[in-house]
Chain A
Amino acid sequence: GQNIDQPTEMTATEGAIVQINCTYQTSGFNGLFWYQQHAGEAPTFLSYNVLDGLEEKGRFSSFLSRSKGYSYLLLKELQMKDSASYLCAVLDSNYQLIWGAGTKLIIKP
């Protein structure tokens, strides 16, 4: 079966750095996505990785290791508005998105 694992909840302090991990086992791989979802809202696109390595975009970076079936989202200089759920999703061989359950990130002052 297809499976994506990420921590249910994480807590971090404003101004700090947090890393959210995601491991996956899917039938085929055509890329991994990170989305941010605030409560009651639809997901918004953060990043897309299809090759191994680190992709940096402002305060957010995403890393992928295909051989390990592993990715992480790194958030720097945390702000209160970063409090949200972060969803890891893998595009499988049928170009279908397989979603993780999401990691709820709580930012404390």
Chain B
Amino acid sequence: GAVVSQHPSWVICKSGTSVKIECRSLDFQATTMFWYRQFPKQSLMLMATSNEGSKATYEQGVEKDKFLINHASLTLSTLTVTSAHPEDSSFYICSARSATGTMVEEQFFGPGTRLTVL
């Protein structure tokens, strides 16, 4: 199957700093990438949908100025958590949907990034 990578896999930062997470589709082109957040013992929560070359669509309650998303190419999307605070500590997961179909079977998940803000 298709491979999606995320970098870094884990990060610890101080409160007030910004953290950038990269999501790459390694062997396919992804017109759409999704960013999820998952708190312990909870389900995945969709934060935003990112389409290549256009602005991301944020879910209700997600601050677009705090969570900056850039989908500059068909293989790369980045999520920047600006001025991170301890409550932003979470497991961030991206997924990518192939350009060749609309079925979510073709949505592949990255391994996730664990963010801890001190």
Contact = CB atoms under 8 A, between A and B. Distances in A.
B67 to A, nearest CB: 18
Interface string A4-28: 0000000000000000000000000
Contacts of A43: 44, 93, 109
Q: Which of B49, B104, B114 has the most CB of A within 10 A?
A: B104
Interface residues of B, number: 19
A40 interface: yes
A40 B116 CA distance: 13
Contact of A44 (B42, B102, B109): B109
Contacts, number: 41
Contacts of B43: 87, 99-102
Interface in A62-109: 87, 91, 95-97, 99-102
A65 B43 CA distance: 23
A42 B46 contact: no
Interface string B95-118: 000000011110101111010000
A42 B93 contact: yes
A87 B36 CA distance: 14
Contact of B42 (A42, A96, A97, A101): A101
Interface residues of A, number: 18
Given A87-B43, A96-B46, A101-B43, A31 B103 contact: yes
Contact of A97 (B91, B104, B110, B114): B104
Contact of B109 (A40, A42, A91, A95): A42
Interface in A31-71: 31, 33, 40-45, 48
A101 B111 CA distance: 19
A87 B34 CA distance: 17
Given A42-B111, A43-B109, 8 more contacts: A40-B91, A42-B110, A42-B112, A48-B104, A99-B43, A99-B44, A99-B45, A100-B43
Interface of A: 31, 33, 40-45, 48, 87, 91, 95-97, 99-102
Query: Which 6 A-B residue pairs are closest in the complex by CB-CB distance?
Result: A42-B109, A101-B43, A42-B112, A99-B43, A99-B44, A42-B93
